Copies of this chain bind each other. A is one copy, B any other.
Amino acid sequence: MKSDLKIIPLGGLGEVGRNMSLFEYDGKILIIDMGFRMPEEDMPGVDFIIPNISYLKGRQKDIVGAVFTHGHYDHIGAIPYMIEKLGNPPLYASGLAGGIILKRQDDFPHLQKLNLTQVKAGSRVKLGPFVVEFFKQNHNISDNFGFFIETPVGNIVHTSDFKFDKNPVYDLPTDYEKIKALGKRGVLLLLSDSTGAEEEGHSLSEEVIMENLEEIFKVAKGRIIAATFGSLINRIQQLIALSEKYGRRVAVDGYSMKTNVEICKRLGYIKSEKGTLIKTSQMQEYPDSKLTLICTGAQGEGQAVLMRIANGEHRFVRLKKEDTVIFSSSVIPGNERTVQFLKDQLYRQKAKVYHYKMMDIHAGGHAQREELRQMIDLLKPNFFIPIHGQYSMLVNHAELAKGQGVPEKNILVVENGQTITLGPKKMVLEKGRVEANYIMVDGLGVGDVGEVVLRDRQTLANDGMFVIVAIIDRATGKVRGSPDIISRGFVYLRESKELLYETRKKVIETVNKTTGGGGPVNWSYVKDNIRNKIGDFLYSKTQRRPMILPVVIEV
């Protein structure tokens, strides 16, 4: 099988985020991205989810390196949780992505130093049997790379997250000729971003966003408070430039945003005149009409800056009637309710609110159908695999590729953990699956929260818990005194005295009946009995099913 290449996606297919895939040839493995994703609603307490790297266990020596497309956490966020397990392989990333990776590593001081090389667009790096050539792609963060990967079976293009923008702001426009030239070198397989595959037309140019934002700057009388993602470097740059044009100082607030702005300033990815950037604490020194605050919290996150401002809990900023609040970001699915709550709070305080549904003041970072077609036309690949996105997006992207002339048999819709075998003339989806399930990170624990723990958390969340402590006299087999009950999240105990009284009686009855025989007592049977009887009893009284935990102590 030496002549075939294996491609194994470990994350990012059939989901948005957690991007990571492997290329393997002749036993040598190249890693592309190590991202995380945010937990689902039914995973309370989980911080984020990372890819399962069991497949790489014991293969540290075979890893020739890892390349990163850009500095967003869904592409780099899992590094600290897996880098040592991977044997600290050499990493390659752009200047900005590298800067963000290194800065994040500061939060994990116990880890070894990373073996990171920062590369430029046009760089070529030989990693075992692979030569990776980095090329520039527009996205909503600077220094975003696609990969042109020369392999022994043929050339593969991995697009990364991308969009085409003829008029980006503070960034170079898409170089169509360059991409076409890559296509001319022959592309055996294209792996292309599917996040926008269900959106018709072309993504908005950042130039349009800039113009619309400027309309708001023109009329705003008081402070401008602009909330966006901390990772949306291009938007932050636009807001700084507009503020300078309209004579406003700029304060930046929110941990992730401040960190990113610092890195970008230092590396030259964000430009501002001397004196433009001020501290939040200095805002009171300037008139409102001369101030912009760029901050986090556009998703309605509970502790982010905008929510603190809306709730009157920010250290320096109290909302005023003349303030203009801009939501320059889309709403991530699942956050609609909290964003609405936040908007309502702002309206209650009479602020002027602009959001992306009222005006084009946000553009996503992903190519829409028109651009996706164009990418296929420019590269003319033999084989095609849609990557990055929900399963429905992958299917719609595959359909689109068919429409652009890629033969149906040369297209595969793949799921995480499946293996693709690629030869110069064929692409096959293998039957088996590599482990690719969710690995959950919760606090310091990586992978120790699984199905059982999550199911318990859900049960506890829905109806609370009910601990019954019964002390049983060894001699008589009878309950001594009155059983203790500890319950949380079930009913308000102070107002449920009657229920508790009856429950205690029921516990005593149940135990005495079970242990009354005089022979040896089966304690696990006694506990099961308490659990079932009291469970049914509480359900009949409340139609709730708290988790019942009997503690039986023999004295």
Name A's B-contacting residues (CB within 8 A). Answer: 14, 40-41, 44-45, 198, 333-334, 336-337, 340, 343-344, 347-348, 353, 357-358, 390-392, 395, 442-445, 448-450, 452-454, 456-465, 467, 469, 471, 484, 486, 488-492, 495-496, 541-544, 547, 549, 551, 553, 555
The answer on a CB contact under 8 Å between B443 and A490 is no
The answer on a CB contact under 8 Å between A547 and B488 is yes
Bound CA span A283–B383, Å: 41
Of B347, B444, B469, which contacts A392 at CB under 8 A? Answer: B347
Q: Which 3 A-B pairs have the closest CB atoms?
A: A443-B543, A461-B461, A333-B336
Of B336, B448, B460, which contacts A489 at CB under 8 A? Answer: B460
Bound CA span A214–B444, Å: 55
Bound CA span A465–B456, Å: 10
The answer on a CB contact under 8 Å between B340 and A492 is no
The answer on a CB contact under 8 Å between B392 and A491 is no
The answer on a CB contact under 8 Å between A457 and B467 is no
Bound CA span A61–B232, Å: 61
**Beyond the given A467-B467, A484-B551, could you list 12 further A-B residue pairs with CB under 8 A, ordered by the A residue number?**
A44-B458, A44-B461, A45-B461, A343-B390, A347-B395, A443-B544, A444-B541, A448-B496, A467-B551, A471-B553, A471-B555, A486-B551
Q: Output the least CB separation between A464 and chain B (Å).
A: 6
Q: Output the least CB separation between A145 and chain B (Å).
A: 28
Bound CA span A547–B496, Å: 21
Of B348, B358, B448, B467, which contacts A491 at CB under 8 A? Answer: B448
The answer on a CB contact under 8 Å between B44 and A41 is no
The answer on a CB contact under 8 Å between B391 and A491 is no
The answer on a CB contact under 8 Å between B490 and A544 is no
Residues on B with beta carbons closer than 8 Å to the beta carbon of A543: 443-444
Bound CA span A336–B390, Å: 12
5 A/B residue pairs, CB under 8 Å, sorted by A? A41-B41, A448-B495, A460-B465, A486-B551, A553-B553
Residues on B with beta carbons closer than 8 Å to the beta carbon of A461: 44-45, 457-458, 460-461
Bound CA span A459–B44, Å: 9
The answer on a CB contact under 8 Å between B391 and A45 is no
The answer on a CB contact under 8 Å between B334 and A453 is no
Q: Output the least CB separation between A480 and chain B (Å).
A: 9
Q: Output the least CB separation between A366 and chain B (Å).
A: 16
Closest B residue, CB atoms, query A15: B344
* Residue from the set A392, A395, A484 with the largest chain B CB neighbour count within 10 Å: A392
Q: Output the least CB separation between A386 and chain B (Å).
A: 12
Residues on B with beta carbons closer than 8 Å to the beta carbon of A357: 198
The answer on a CB contact under 8 Å between A456 and B489 is yes
Q: Output the least CB separation between A164 and chain B (Å).
A: 23
The answer on a CB contact under 8 Å between A45 and B390 is no
Residues on B with beta carbons closer than 8 Å to the beta carbon of A443: 542-544
Closest B residue, CB atoms, query A457: B489
The answer on a CB contact under 8 Å between B458 and A486 is no
Residues on B with beta carbons closer than 8 Å to the beta carbon of A347: 391-392, 395
Closest B residue, CB atoms, query A460: B460
The answer on a CB contact under 8 Å between A442 and B544 is yes
Residues on B with beta carbons closer than 8 Å to the beta carbon of A390: 340, 343-344
The answer on a CB contact under 8 Å between B553 and A14 is no
The answer on a CB contact under 8 Å between B469 and A464 is no
Residues on B with beta carbons closer than 8 Å to the beta carbon of A486: 467, 549, 551
Of B448, B460, B469, which contacts A488 at CB under 8 A? Answer: B460
Q: Output the least CB separation between A138 and chain B (Å).
A: 25
Closest B residue, CB atoms, query A469: B551
Q: Output the least CB separation between A468 and chain B (Å).
A: 10
On whether A488 and B391 interact (CB within 8 A), knowing A461-B45, A543-B443, the answer reads no
The answer on a CB contact under 8 Å between B348 and A391 is yes
Bound CA span A336–B334, Å: 6
Residues on B with beta carbons closer than 8 Å to the beta carbon of A553: 469, 471, 484, 553
On whether A340 and B333 interact (CB within 8 A), knowing A44-B461, A541-B444, the answer reads yes
The answer on a CB contact under 8 Å between B453 and A492 is yes
Residues on B with beta carbons closer than 8 Å to the beta carbon of A452: 492
Q: Output the least CB separation between A438 and chain B (Å).
A: 14
Of B442, B471, B544, which contacts A45 at CB under 8 A? Answer: B544
